């Protein structure tokens, strides 16, 4: 093949961010940039910062405080010990003046730094910490099932477990607000094909690929969600959308005020991400950081050149030693892992899921996102990034 033909076939990159045509759901828009750039611009307009954002947050704080009257807490805040959730907990307690219950989910992969951060922060802020620990054999088997399913995202234990821990705790404490800290400005919107999740899909993966039965795993099904959202009136509020949490100032504040230690990379409060990153790169040929770096380029936190430079390197934690450590802990041999890397790639569309059903409710879901009942970016992720 000639160099010319190779170039002709190379995926074209968006001139504004660092996503290219190899990213699922990527499309060029009329203005020459990509649909992920448009999505972020739309979210920017829907969720303003500055004075407008501050006054929305004030109204939210008043409403959450009113709802919390006579209860032990005002709201539940999901926390991992990482940058975004730690800053969110600080913001809820110190800036919004609320009485949160911090909820942490541990699937057995918490780093020591994350554990120390959690304890220090909750102690200093005088916030009660409720930790939900997943049964380790169940956690290990569920992750192994997703690895054997050959799908891009292999940490479903965390995604299902966090949702389950937050909603079940809020329902038990009779609280109506769960505060989350997904930041579209810092994290972007991940292509749906890279990390889709629903109860039917998880059940199908477990049935087909779990080598031993899961004993205590609690799935999060549609009927659970309907009960929590409409009977218990629980809302998932992403307050991060209304404050500026971009750049180093967040790490500096947390370190100075609470002795918080930087894990060095988004998601590294969870050590399994060494395997998550390695697996995606070697099986699917993508780098998870591309979404986050693109978001930061659009926000102006880093330059496009620096993002491209970063993508030429490996994350510091994606080492052979860390991958070996993860595989050993998961009980997967290198031989099995290598054969999984070579096996045909699959996506959630290769397995049963609720996605066809969700598509029918596209517009009601958009409304739930805009009314803070579901996270803001869910609509974009499920119906635009595909």
Q: Which residues bind Zn ion (CB under 5 A)?
A: 14, 16-17, 33-34, 37
Residue 191 CB, shortest distance to Zn ion, in Å, is: 12
**Which residue's CB is nearer to Zn ion, number 16 or number 83?**
16
Q: Are 165 and 136 in contact (CB under 8 A)?
A: no
Distance CA 25, CA 289 (A): 17
**Which residue's CB is nearer to Zn ion, number 14 or number 323?**
14
**Which residue's CB is nearer to Zn ion, number 127 or number 291?**
291
Residue 17 CB, shortest distance to Zn ion, in Å, is: 3
Residue 314 CB, shortest distance to Zn ion, in Å, is: 23
Residue 37 CB, shortest distance to Zn ion, in Å, is: 3
Shortest-Cβ-distance residue relative to Zn ion: 14
Residue 315 CB, shortest distance to Zn ion, in Å, is: 22
Residue 181 CB, shortest distance to Zn ion, in Å, is: 24
- As beta bridge partners, residue 178 has 76, 236
**Which residue's CB is nearer to Zn ion, number 24 or number 53?**
24
- As beta bridge partners, residue 117 has none
Residue among 131, 143, 161, 80 nearest 329 (CA): 143
Residue 289 CB, shortest distance to Zn ion, in Å, is: 15
Residue 194 CB, shortest distance to Zn ion, in Å, is: 16
State CA 43 to chain mean position distance. Answer: 17
**Which residue's CB is nearer to Zn ion, number 33 or number 246?**
33
**Which residue's CB is nearer to Zn ion, number 19 or number 369?**
19
Residue 40 CB, shortest distance to Zn ion, in Å, is: 8
Residue among 361, 291, 380, 303 nearest 45 (CA): 380
């Amino acid at each position: 093949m000639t160099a010319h033909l190779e170039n002709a076939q190379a995926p074209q990159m968006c001139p504004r961010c660092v996503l290219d045509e190899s990213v699922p759901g990527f499309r060029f828009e009329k203005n020459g940039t990509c649909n992920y750039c448009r999505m972020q611009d739309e979210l920017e307009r829907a969720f303003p910062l500055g004075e407008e954002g501050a006054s929305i947050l004030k109204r939210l704080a008043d409403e959450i405080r009113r709802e919390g009257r006579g209860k032990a807490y005002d709201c539940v805040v999901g926390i991992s010990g990482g940058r975004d959730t730690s800053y969110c907990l600080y913001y809820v307690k110190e800036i919004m003046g609320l009485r949160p219950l911090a909820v942490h989910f541990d699937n057995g992969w918490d780093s020591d730094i994350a554990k120390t951060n959690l304890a220090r922060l909750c102690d200093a802020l005088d916030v009660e910490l409720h930790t939900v620990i997943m049964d380790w054999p169940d956690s290990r088997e569920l992750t192994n099932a997703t690895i054997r399913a050959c799908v891009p995202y292999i940490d479903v234990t965390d995604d299902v477990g966090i949702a389950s821990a937050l909603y079940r705790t809020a329902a038990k404490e009779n609280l109506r607000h769960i505060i989350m800290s997904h930041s579209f400005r810092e994290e972007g919107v991940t292509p749906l094909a890279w990390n889709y999740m629903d109860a039917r899909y998880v059940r199908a993966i477990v049935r087909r690929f779990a080598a031993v039965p899961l004993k205590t795993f609690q799935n999060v099904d549609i009927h659970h969600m309907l009960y929590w959202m409409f009977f218990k009136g629980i809302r998932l509020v992403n307050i991060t959308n209304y404050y500026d949490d971009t750049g180093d100032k967040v790490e500096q504040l947390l370190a100075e005020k609470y002795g918080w230690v930087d894990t060095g990379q988004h998601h590294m409060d969870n050590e399994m991400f060494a395997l998550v990153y390695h697996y995606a790169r070697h099986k699917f040929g993508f780098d998870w950081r591309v979404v986050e770096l693109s978001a930061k380029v659009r926000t102006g936190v880093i330059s496009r050149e620096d993002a491209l430079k970063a993508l030429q390197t490996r994350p510091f934690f994606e080492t052979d030693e860390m991958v070996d450590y993860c595989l050993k802990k998961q009980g997967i041999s290198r031989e099995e892992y290598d054969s999984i890397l070579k096996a045909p790639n699959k996506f959630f569309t290769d397995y049963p899921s609720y996605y066809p059903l969700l598509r029918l409710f596209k517009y009601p879901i958009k409304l739930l996102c805009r009314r803070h009942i579901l996270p803001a970016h869910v609509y974009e992720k499920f119906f635009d990034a595909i």
